Amino acid sequence: MTETLLCAIARPDSAADEAAGGLPPAATGSVQMLALPAAPVLLSQLRSESPAALSRLAAALDAPSCALLMQCAISLGLGPPGGRRSTFEAAVDAFGVRRAVDLFGTLALVGQMRALAQQRDGAGGPCASWAGFWEHSLNRARVLAWLARRHGGESADLALGFGLLCDSAVALMMLELQSPSYRVTLAEANLGHRPVTEVERSRHGIDHAEVAERLALHWGLDAGLAGAVGRHHDARVLTPEPSSPEQPCRVRLLVALGLVADRMTVRPAARHRQHVEWQRGGAMALHVLGLSLQDYDDWLDEVSVQATLGGRG
């Protein structure tokens, strides 16, 4: 079980953001209250205990979580497809201690967001068709992991976590932000007339990328991963000379991989918005990854084959 924390989410340097093309004047200084799920105590224990103590702590993990960890390992080519129990120790063997704990934390956090979506559905709220949303999120994450492994510049499990986290806060915002309606915000964003994060900030003073970044940091996930999640709609990080000289390479690489994965896994409801985002940042993403248009087409063919084969190979 997790407790719930009420946290005010808003950028304190709103004037700087506005100057950099961030918060529009109407949203400056606005603060939204969101109920952020706290990280499970077990997660912090897994991080703080010595590897020798993992067996005792891992015994408290539920079987579905362990099975999902091993499914991730198998899908990333890090574990055998059969003949092994789905245990946390097996996941540690496949990923290593730190990576297994981080991936478990990511899966647990996304699980909390899915539970929130189901809560809204159960209450007769406006969150319909979540199954398709999460299915697309998982498919995009798998493609991201494949792209990372194919590119070789980032670990596949971190890319998988990045793909799962990017839109994880949408469920939380749909549940919490009713006036103005976040559902209407998404409908406007999908028109593609303005960047999705700009639409969100103009109506709510925050955006789903920022909320997801804060959640990832709150749960103690990798800082580079959290930073990439927070900037995954920001094409400025892909420029040859990033606005911040300290801009980590990991952030640029994950954001570039994410944009390519978006292009390869277009959602019908967001087709126009994703096309506009590709027009804005696609060429820069390919440049960051060192890919030509022909390389992209070849990778797209390979991703299509992988989807047909069910991710094998």
What are 128-179's pLDDT values in tens digits? 566 677 778 888 888 998 999 889 888 888 898 899 899 888 888 888 888 8
Taking 60 as the threshold, does the pLDDT of residue 270 lie above it?
A: yes
The pTM is what? 0.77
Read off the pLDDT of each residue in 228-235 and give the average, rounded to a whole number.
92
* pLDDT at position 5: 36
In percent, how much of the chain has pLDDT > 70? 64
* pLDDT at position 61: 60
Burial class (CB in 10 A: 0-12, 13-18, 19+), 134: middle
Read off the pLDDT of each residue in 280-307 and give the average, rounded to a whole number.
90
Read off the pLDDT of each residue in 17-27 and give the average, rounded to a whole number.
34
More reliable by pLDDT, 274 or 287: 287
More reliable by pLDDT, 203 or 78: 203
* pLDDT at position 59: 63
Q: What is the C-alpha to C-alpha distance for residues 228 and 258, in angstroms, rounded to an integer?
A: 9
Taking 50 as the threshold, does the pLDDT of residue 127 lie above it?
A: no
pLDDT band of residue 49 (cuts 50, 70, 90) is low
Phi-psi region of 129 (alpha: psi -120 to 50; beta: other; left: phi over 0): left
Taking 50 as the threshold, does the pLDDT of residue 108 lie above it?
A: yes
State the chain's mean pLDDT as an integer.
74
pLDDT band of residue 53 (cuts 50, 70, 90) is low
* pLDDT at position 273: 77
